[in-house]
Amino acid sequence: MLAISLYGLAWIPIGAINVLFGAINQSIIPNSMYGRISSVTYSLSAIAMPFGSLLGGYLAEIFNSSIVFACSSCGFIMISIVWLLHPKLRKLPTVKEMKPETFLITVNKMNNTSLPMK
């Protein structure tokens, strides 16, 4: 029961981060490319899901499923702690203040495409 509670608790900061990432993506990615980038991102997520399920099921067969939930919840909590303590992540501007240059991306105004800065 503790493992499931930790697992659920660990998803709270991840959910908040997902909302922020969505807002950042909409403000940084040019409108002409947003559909393409979103489709690639969601496709890669969908491709990874069966592999995660397969790995989780395999590990649950070897170990107890409570151990698998506890380890994955500790992983989520560690990601949250890194986001909390990393100095560069702590100094990121607010979502309203973010621009493509924040992530070293230049936007070509002619055709509204993004290019990495050199």
pLDDT digit of tens for each residue in the chain (118 aa)?
777 787 778 778 778 878 888 888 888 888 888 899 899 999 999 999 999 999 989 998 999 888 888 888 788 788 878 988 998 888 888 888 888 888 777 777 655 555 555 5
Domain count, the chain: 1
CB contact set of 17 (below 8 Å; sequence gap of 6+) = 83
Residues spanned by the domain of 49: 2-116
Cα 101 to Cα 115: distance, rounded to the nearest angstrom: 10
What is this structure's pTM? 0.61
